[in-house]
Every structure is written in C-alpha cells, then in structure tokens.
C-alpha cells in the first residue's frame, strides 16, 4: 500500500500571495475611505489633531541637531544619521499633511520654536529625542490605523536616537 498526499486545491505560496493581494486591497480601500472628500463641501476631511504637533516636533528636532552641529562641528558625523532620519520623518508627515489640505501650525509655529532653547550639546539633543519620543508615542495612541503605526515607528526611532546618544 502506498501513501499519497491528498490533493490540495491551492498551494501555500498561491494562498499567501492571494492573502497579500486581499490585504493590500483592503488597506488601499481604508486609505481612500479615510481621505475621501466630504460629500457636502468636496474638501478632504480635516487633519487629525496630532499631525501639526508631529510636524512641529520634527522641525524642532532638525533645528536642534543643526544648532548642535554648528556649536561643535565634530559632532557632524555622529549626528548626520539622526538628522537624515528626522528629515525623512518630516517628509513623510508633510506628504500625509498634503492629503488633508492646509494644516494649521502647532502652537503658533515659529514662536513655539523660539520659546524652546536650541540644543547645543549631545546631552540636550538626547533630552529632546526622549521628549519627542514620548510625545509621539502618546499621539500614536490617539491615531487610527496606519497613522498609529507611522507614529509608533517615529517614536521608536526617536527613542533609539536617545539610546545611541548615551
């Protein structure tokens, strides 16, 4: 007597590929539903509350890193990867913001930046990274879907920066 495997209707690879296509389609549908224009006004929905604050935090971190590098140019090599990460975060948040239309500046824009001392040392940059990580993680708890994942990823990156700077 020989043993033969039961015939499968679909291979695992085909099933996983189909599941991936379905998941991608569902994600795209959710994104379209999230950013769909308001049927009454024809404008996209308003930006979430956390978006302008996240944009301001990333801009502030970039300004702080630039100030630290200006104060001690030898830090340029050490802080360049962190600066590149924050520039990428800012770019992604700006793309997200453009889906919602104009976003009001958080806390008055440049006045919020002027009231916060700019970091000139690695210790100060580390403190700012930790504070930004905590604030971004808190915002992730209030965000929905992919936005929550984006914010959690940014918060984790900022926490990693703080750990690298110890």
Domain boundaries, the chain: 49-164
Q: Please report which confidence band the pLDDT of residue 113 belongs to, taking 50, 70 and 90 as the band edges.
A: very low
Residue 158: exposed, middle, or buried by beta-carbon count in 10 A (0-12, 13-18, 19+)? buried
CA distance 21 to 159: 33
Fold assignment, 49-164: Ferritin (1.20.1260)
Tell me the C-alpha to C-alpha distance, in Å, between residue 90 and each of 36, 83, 123. 23, 10, 23
pLDDT digits (tens, 9 = 90+) for 54-96: 999 999 999 999 999 999 999 999 999 999 999 999 999 999 8
In this predicted structure, the answer to whether residue 52 has a pLDDT above a threshold of 60 is yes
Looking at per-residue pLDDT, the higher value among 156 and 146 belongs to 156
In this predicted structure, what is the pLDDT of residue 5? 64
Question: What is the chain's length?
Answer: 166
């Amino acid at each position: 007597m020989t043993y033969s495997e039961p015939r499968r209707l679909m291979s695992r690879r085909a099933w996983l590929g189909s599941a991936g296509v379905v998941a991608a389609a569902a994600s795209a549908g959710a994104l379209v539903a999230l950013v769909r224009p308001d049927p009454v006004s024809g404008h996209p929905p308003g930006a979430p509350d956390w978006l302008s604050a996240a944009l301001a935090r990333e801009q502030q971190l970039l300004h702080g890193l630039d100030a630290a590098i200006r104060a001690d140019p030898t830090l340029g090599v050490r802080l360049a990867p962190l600066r590149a990460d924050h520039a990428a975060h800012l770019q992604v948040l700006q793309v997200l913001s453009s889906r919602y239309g104009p976003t009001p500046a958080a806390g008055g824009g440049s006045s919020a930046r002027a009231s916060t001392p700019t970091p000139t040392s690695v210790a100060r940059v580390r403190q700012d990274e930790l504070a930004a990580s905590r604030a971004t993680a808190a915002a992730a708890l209030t965000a929905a879907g992919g936005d929550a994942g984006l914010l959690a990823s940014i918060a984790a990156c900022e926490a990693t920066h703080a750990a690298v700077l110890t």
